[in-house]
Chains A and B, each alone.
Chain A
Amino acid sequence: MSDGRHASSPFIGDDEIFVRMTLQQRLQHFLTIVTFVTLVVTGFPLIYPEWPIWSWIGLGERSFALRSLLHRIAGTGLIAASLWHVVYVMATEEGARFFREMLPKAIDIWQLVEAVGYQLGLTETLYRRGRLRGFLDRRPWWRFREPPAYGKYNWIEKFEYLAIVWGNIVMIVSGLCLWFFEAAFAIFPKPVMDIVKLVHGFEATLAFLAIVIWHMYCVHLNPEAFPMSRMWLDGKISGKLLRHHYPGWYREIEAERLEKRRLETALHWYDREKPPGWEGPRGVAGAGGEG
């Protein structure tokens, strides 16, 4: 995507390994996968009972009660995963940082436009053919000559995160209403319960299609990652791929390290030269004692 565009940094080795999905995040993700798949398999028979696949997997009179039980167990698992994530975001620094970085910003929308504009290459082609020269010379960013410089999380991931947060809320609330429908009926009249049931089914369909088509393509099935990215298993990414896919984040890490090196160099110099007024390193870890 950005080969040769971003020079590699002297501070980041191409083969250096970075953790992009921490163990916590991978476990949450794994629990979500297991519960999601179970929920789809045990829930879809009620929305699409006419699919022949259900008889292939042996869903019949006896397994129907099991389907119902498994759906509730998996539903409880998804609620657990969601609560775990809420606690993770609210109570841990890692989680809070993750949430902050996942929040969509205006730049994400622009980067979506940039990504499509770059891949289509329409304006650049027009420019090369001598069209829209004045306009594009004044506003060169519309030429989309470069792919977007994504930060740690790009618009794809942020959209998916928002979608799963929203989807989980909808599915959990409507699912609980259907699970404890007699109690829900005490609060809501039948027309509302009809809508609750509709929403549960349609949101499930939307989520299923989004995962199968979009998430699978973006993460695993695109020609670059095919047949599978190992990210969800080990959470690791190499410095080279980082530079390639998340140049914004790459530059951030580089800047952090540069800043740290500057500080170290400065402290080193002060330590050696001991200019007037210098009282030695104060609480700067790893800075002193090298002279």
Chain B
Amino acid sequence: MRARRAWLAAIAAAALAAWAAPAAAGPADEDCLACHSGGALDDAKLDVDAKILGASAHAGMSCTDCHADLAGADLPHGTTGPAACGSCHEEEARAVERSAHRQDDPDSPRCWSCHGGHDVRRVSAEDSRTAPLLQDRTCLGCHANPEIAGRHALPVRESAEDFEQSVHYRALLGGNPAAPSCTTCHGAHDNVSHKDPDSPIARPNVASTCGMCHAEIAQEFAESVHGKVLAEGNPDVPTCTGCHAEHAIRGPKDPRSPVHPSHIATTCSHCHENERLAREYGIASARLRTFVGSYHGAASRFGDSTVANCASCHGSHGIRPSSDPRSSIHPSNLARTCGTCHPQAGLNFATGKIHVRDLPEDNYWAWLVRRTYVSLIWAVIGGFVALIAVDLWWRFRTRRSRRGEA
């Protein structure tokens, strides 16, 4: 769309230039290039390569189409203002003025910071700086620059490498045209801080942003306990990025992914083992500890990814509380849930608690057995150690007295 408009603009500009040339008093392109090429000026930055310009999206446009303030100027000219991109790209220019990149700061990126200057490419061109595969490097030119990031407190937590290892970048590499790059989630000309409630990456909007591609999952999430509480405006509940990370999103089969089976328990524990959250929302405590103490937990710790993790029983996007009859851990569904891995699982699987804490109210007899065994072990081993100590002391004493006798 934009490309076509650029073409039309270029053609129109060329036609206009051809028609108006005899009448206009401004410099022709040749006049400009007389100084701005071949190192005629002291500053090499002021050189323009006609070939590069000819290969750009603006090929055929005249210099003064963009450097409009020089139209009709006497040569040689003095300092000029910035290129007037907005004169053609009005909508984009307006969007930028409302965005986090509005042009009121010397650090703010200019049109050419992202799109290139004389070498500007169409967005659809593979070698465009805004092409999906190259976009992250373009954005990170500023966002990973410690000076700029420091001056503006930019939330740079992940590097280009993080995004480039993500499942999204891999999909881009694999030629998936629907895979997201920076602007898919952050917006392009209109991108605003995540603190802005209208931002597509503001917490309440993250799920619908991801849902642009992952629609079914977004729907499932919206109906889950997390999604419902999020919709109420709760700031503590996780949205997509809470579990999947932001830029470094990896597939669940990638061992480095926070949602890989061996990491799920840790990921869920960020909130579910958090004392403040547990206190505030009455989240059941010691889920992680009881999981780690189970066979599932121990096996998972050693990297066995076939064993059950939090998501195996609780679900992932559509987690519901156990009181919900549609929950996979509702007592009436437990035998079926456990039966996914244990086909012989009978109704006894659903008797008693699954996350058994070391508390009399969870399993009184288990609590008692544990206490008895701990006391027994201390008593027996303590007794052994005492007997050994007595034996060693006696040996030491008799050896000394024997030596004394001799």
Query: Footprint of B on A, CB under 8 Å?
Result: 45-47, 49, 54, 59-61, 64-65, 116, 118-121, 182-183, 185-186, 188-191, 193-195, 197-199, 202-203, 205-206, 209-210, 213-214, 217, 222-224
Contact = CB atoms under 8 A, between A and B. Distances in A.
A106 B303 CA distance: 52
Contact of B348 (A46, A119, A190): A190
A45 B377 CA distance: 19
Contact of B381 (A197, A203, A213): A213
B384 A190 contact: no
Size range of the interface on B? 35 or more
A215 to B, nearest CB: 9
Closest 9 interchain pairs by CB?
A61-B303, A190-B352, A182-B344, A202-B373, A119-B394, A189-B351, A191-B352, A214-B384, A49-B298
B303 A194 contact: no
Interface stretch (B58-66, B187-195, B361-369): B361-369
Interface string B326-363: 00000000000000001011101111111010000001
Nearest to A48: B298
B301 interface: yes
Contact of B390 (A120, A185, A191, A205): A120
A193 B351 CA distance: 10
A198 B390 contact: no
Interface string B368-391: 011001101100110011011011
Contacts of B370: 198, 202
**From DSSP, what is the main secondary structure of chain B's interface residues?**
helix
B305 interface: yes
Given A46-B299, A186-B346, A206-B377, 7 more contacts: A60-B302, A119-B393, A185-B346, A190-B351, A199-B373, A202-B370, A223-B395
B371 to A, nearest CB: 10
A209 B365 contact: no
B305 A191 contact: no
Given A61-B302, A195-B369, A210 B295 contact: no
Interface of B: 292, 295, 297-299, 301-305, 342, 344-346, 348-354, 356, 363, 365-366, 369-370, 373-374, 376-377, 380-381, 384-385, 387-388, 390-395
Contacts of B380: 206, 209-210
B352 A194 contact: yes
Given A49-B298, A194-B356, A186 B348 contact: yes
A224 B399 CA distance: 12
Contacts of B349: 185, 190
Contacts of A203: 373
Contacts of B344: 182-183, 185-186
B298 A46 contact: yes
B387 A116 contact: yes
Nearest to B303: A61
Given A64-B302, A185-B345, A185-B346, A191 B373 contact: no
11 contacts: A59-B302, A119-B394, A185-B346, A189-B348, A189-B352, A190-B348, A193-B348, A195-B363, A209-B377, A209-B381, A213-B388
A116 B389 CA distance: 11
Contact of A45 (B302, B345, B356): B302
A195 B394 contact: no
Contacts of A47: 298
Contact of A49 (B302, B391, B394, B395): B302
A202 B371 CA distance: 10
B54 to A, nearest CB: 57
B23 to A, nearest CB: 78
Contacts of B394: 118-121
Contacts of A61: 302-305
A202 B381 contact: no
Contacts of A194: 352, 356, 363, 366
Contacts of A224: 395
Given A190-B351, A202-B370, A217 B388 contact: yes
Contacts of B348: 185-186, 188-190, 193
A60 B373 contact: no
A54 B303 CA distance: 12
Contact of A222 (B292, B369, B384, B391): B391
Contacts of A46: 295, 298-299
A178 B316 CA distance: 29
